[in-house]
A and B are shown apart, each in its own frame.
Chain A
Amino acid sequence: MANEITPKDLPEPRYEYGADDHVFVELAEEMSFTANFKAMAITQQVAERDIDGIIENCPANASYMLRIDPGVIHPDDVIAELKEIEAELDVENYEWETRVIDIPVLFEDPWTHETLMEFRDRHQDPDGTDLEYSAELNGFDDVDSFLEAFVSAPHMVTMVGFVPGLPWCFQMVPRDQQLEVPKYVEPRTDTPSRAVGFGGAFSVIYPVQGAGGYQLYGRTPVEVLDVDQELADFSDSMVFPNPGDILNYRPIDREEYDAIREEVEDGTYEYTYKRVNFSTEEFFESPLEYNDQLTEDLA
């Protein structure tokens, strides 16, 4: 197995107008760490420059988007500045301060199991479970070895959105080890809150109960959205994960799930995380060793 990730050569970015008040920039049609790191780095530089007239500044998986006030700055002037930032950047040698976060997960939990069984008629494999389907599709003999791969390396939050607090995460492994599954044939109308799902090449945590199309694997007892900001980690924002964070999924049993859930519900739970300087250079050079270093002493 490869133990490095070769940075991708990206095409020229496509600068697009979202009418008069948005600029959308597609860095690549295909997902890659290079594209995501670039989206992260450019939006970080945009924030640092504190450009007048920028209202929203959102990195996405392989693109980014700005909302602007065209009464203050013309979209073409924004694009000129973005090109300048792009030209100065070296994403293969870039660092940002981020967090490595412990995410306990009860895999094959009763709640997502009930949901996925309820929507079998919308699934590619009506006779199996989402995990059995994903394991087989990715060439694993059984569910356990698939889950082992799923938790063996951390997942980077490459984008937060859809609804408040939903992190899209891309597993930090070389391409030949990346897992990939389709979304449901028809989206479900229901998903339990805090469900851990996987679709395309992205893992997600559903903040609230609602529709969804990702394969369902488990449920975490911890919240990613706390509207009333009752938990200590949510004092600054009602959303915990930020783009650029690194989530480390850790399998837990029902007993631990219930114990953590109790702490969350009585308002005493605090996330386990550590602050790190993430270096793209070290990651590209030897991702697996670097991941070990990132997640060391976490839980």
Chain B
Amino acid sequence: MITIQEGGIASTVQDRGRFGHYHIGMPPSGAMDKYAHTVANYLVGNNADAATIEMTYQGITATFDEDAVIAITGADMSPTLNGESIGTWETVAVDAGDELELAFATEGARAYLAVAGGVDVPEVMGSRSTYTLVGIGGHEGRGLEEGDELPIGEADGTPSELVDTQLDDEYVPSYADEDTVRIVIGLTSYRLTDESKERLCEAEWKVSAEADRTGYRLEGPELEFKEREQPFGAGTDPSNVVDLGYPIGSIQVPQKPIVLMQDAVTGGGYSTVGTVISADRGLLAQRQTHKSVYFEAVDVDEAIAAREARDDRLETIRAEIESTN
């Protein structure tokens, strides 16, 4: 059992997500930075789909009621165990009674705490991910608060043998430096003027204060739409289209761009003009408020290659960790 002493700013239980229900308006939810979530799980001997605790900007303080094996990845929140500093991107043993404390994120926005056996909250529609809007999944469908008790699942194998496993530096992302996310232009990008399409990829965008699991609202230059007589059913604003489905990672432009994230609305009537590739969504999720972001347009095969490269990298990491066990 993990007992929460302080919940942080927005800490939730997340796994890889909830699928198969998008057509009834259910977004996938799931970890915002899949790479960090997956590596944390691998470090403690879990499968990638075990649930972790996702922390945003300010981490949790928690005590362990049992011996456990943990790993913390993602944003650096300077974790300590009983006041002693512990490493990130590595496997750490905790004893029953130990207190884990995480501070404010210095680099990146989201950290992941994995525990061998996974956070064992009940599955809702096949996933342990928290979706707070309707209050399902995770711990009571909400962010973590003082006094919450999270059960730890049964671990496979002997995770204690993984303690002190460190992820090779070459696999640790540098969240402070990664300011470019790749996108595939398309969807209803025909609504934008050619100049605005170019501007989308040339401009410096700043992550606004409205950037959360639902969407990342970006500040930058104005984008303009092509003039047209609005088609029946679309609505009167030039940014309006007949309501359609929004891909996760898609960039909608009510005026300024909003990149839709894991808990986003599943559809609506704003023009969407491109989609952040799956391999880079986690990088955007780690960009702090007021930091810059640039979009780089790639084609679909480059997007698939980037996803394969990330998956291969995760496979290599898993193999290397397993070989130390």
Please state if B233 and A61 are interface contacts (CB–CB under 8 Å): yes
Interface string of B228-252 (1 = CB under 8 A from A): 0001111110001111110111100
Of B103-111, B151-159, B269-277, the one contacting chain A is B269-277
Query: Which residues from 216 to 235 on chain B have a C-beta closer than 8 Å to any C-beta of chain A?
Result: 231-235
Of A28-36, A82-90, A110-118, A250-258, the one contacting chain B is A28-36
- Output the residue of B245, B248, B279, B306 with the most chain A CB within 10 A: B245
Determine if B171 is an interface residue (Cβ-Cβ < 8 Å).
Answer: no
Please state if B24 and A74 are interface contacts (CB–CB under 8 Å): no
In the bound complex, CA of A29 to CA of B267 (Å): 15
Please state if B233 and A17 are interface contacts (CB–CB under 8 Å): no
B25 to chain A, nearest CB (A): 4
Of A101-109, A126-134, A195-203, A279-287, the one contacting chain B is A195-203
In the bound complex, CA of A253 to CA of B231 (Å): 37
Q: Taking A24-B187, A161-B245, A183-B235 as contacts, is the C-beta distance between A19 and B25 under 8 angstroms?
A: no
In the bound complex, CA of A87 to CA of B275 (Å): 28
Q: Taking A20-B306, A22-B275 as contacts, is the C-beta distance between A159 and B186 under 8 angstroms?
A: no
Query: Which residues from 34 to 74 on chain A have a C-beta closer than 8 Å to any C-beta of chain B?
Result: 43, 55-65, 67, 70-71, 74
Chain A contacts of B233 at CB under 8 A?
A: 30-31, 61-62, 170, 180, 200-202
Chain A contacts of B275 at CB under 8 A?
A: 17-19, 22
Chain B contacts of A20 at CB under 8 A?
A: 184, 277-279, 300, 303-304, 306-307
Cβ 8 A contact of B307, one of A43, A58, A71, A202? A71
Q: Taking A21-B278, A199-B235 as contacts, is the C-beta distance between A165 and B269 under 8 angstroms?
A: no
Determine if A243 is an interface residue (Cβ-Cβ < 8 Å).
Answer: yes
Please state if B247 and A159 are interface contacts (CB–CB under 8 Å): no
Please state if A65 and B25 are interface contacts (CB–CB under 8 Å): no
In the bound complex, CA of A227 to CA of B243 (Å): 25
- Output the residue of A24, A31, A70 with the most chain B CB within 10 A: A24
Determine if B20 is an interface residue (Cβ-Cβ < 8 Å).
Answer: yes
Please state if B26 and A164 are interface contacts (CB–CB under 8 Å): yes
Interface string of B17-38 (1 = CB under 8 A from A): 0011111111000000000000
Chain A contacts of B248 at CB under 8 A?
A: 21-22, 67
In the bound complex, CA of A59 to CA of B22 (Å): 10
Please state if B184 and A18 are interface contacts (CB–CB under 8 Å): yes
Cβ 8 A contact of A61, one of B19, B24, B244, B311? B244
Chain B contacts of A58 at CB under 8 A?
A: 22-23, 245, 266-267
Please state if B23 and A243 are interface contacts (CB–CB under 8 Å): yes
Return the chain B residue nearest A237 by Cβ: B24
Determine if A174 is an interface residue (Cβ-Cβ < 8 Å).
Answer: no
Please state if B243 and A16 are interface contacts (CB–CB under 8 Å): no
Please state if A60 and B135 are interface contacts (CB–CB under 8 Å): no
Determine if B122 is an interface residue (Cβ-Cβ < 8 Å).
Answer: no
- Output the residue of A59, A65, A199, A207 with the most chain B CB within 10 A: A65
In the bound complex, CA of A76 to CA of B303 (Å): 13
Query: Which residues from 187 to 238 on chain B have a C-beta closer than 8 Å to any C-beta of chain A?
Result: 187-188, 231-236
In the bound complex, CA of A163 to CA of B233 (Å): 20
Determine if A160 is an interface residue (Cβ-Cβ < 8 Å).
Answer: yes
B144 to chain A, nearest CB (A): 19
Chain A contacts of B1 at CB under 8 A?
A: none
Chain B contacts of A29 at CB under 8 A?
A: 231, 234, 241-242
A25 to chain B, nearest CB (A): 10
In the bound complex, CA of A71 to CA of B25 (Å): 25
Determine if A168 is an interface residue (Cβ-Cβ < 8 Å).
Answer: yes
- Output the residue of B136, B240, B278 with the most chain A CB within 10 A: B278
Cβ 8 A contact of B244, one of A30, A62, A70, A163? A62
Please state if A161 and B25 are interface contacts (CB–CB under 8 Å): yes
Determine if A221 is an interface residue (Cβ-Cβ < 8 Å).
Answer: no
Chain A contacts of B186 at CB under 8 A?
A: 16-18, 24
A157 to chain B, nearest CB (A): 11
Determine if B119 is an interface residue (Cβ-Cβ < 8 Å).
Answer: no
Please state if B276 and A56 are interface contacts (CB–CB under 8 Å): no
Interface string of B282-315 (1 = CB under 8 A from A): 0000000000000000001001101110010000
Determine if B183 is an interface residue (Cβ-Cβ < 8 Å).
Answer: yes
Please state if A200 and B244 are interface contacts (CB–CB under 8 Å): no
A133 to chain B, nearest CB (A): 14
Return the chain B residue nearest A243 by Cβ: B23
Cβ 8 A contact of A30, one of B24, B232, B235? B232
Determine if B268 is an interface residue (Cβ-Cβ < 8 Å).
Answer: yes
In the bound complex, CA of A43 to CA of B23 (Å): 10
Determine if B265 is an interface residue (Cβ-Cβ < 8 Å).
Answer: yes
Determine if A92 is an interface residue (Cβ-Cβ < 8 Å).
Answer: no
Return the chain A residue nearest B268 by Cβ: A162
Please state if B23 and A57 are interface contacts (CB–CB under 8 Å): yes
Chain B contacts of A180 at CB under 8 A?
A: 232-233
In the bound complex, CA of A62 to CA of B311 (Å): 35
Return the chain B residue nearest A210 by Cβ: B133
Please state if A19 and B277 are interface contacts (CB–CB under 8 Å): yes
Please state if B243 and A56 are interface contacts (CB–CB under 8 Å): no
Q: List 10 A-B contacts (CB under 8 A).
A: A18-B187, A20-B279, A60-B243, A63-B245, A71-B307, A161-B25, A161-B265, A161-B266, A162-B267, A163-B133
Counting from the closest, the 4 A-B pairs by CB-CB distance are: A31-B233, A18-B247, A65-B245, A30-B231
Residues of A within 8 A of B (CB): 16-22, 24, 26, 28-32, 43, 55-65, 67, 70-71, 74-76, 159-166, 168, 170, 175, 180, 182-183, 199-202, 207-208, 210, 225, 227, 237-239, 242-243
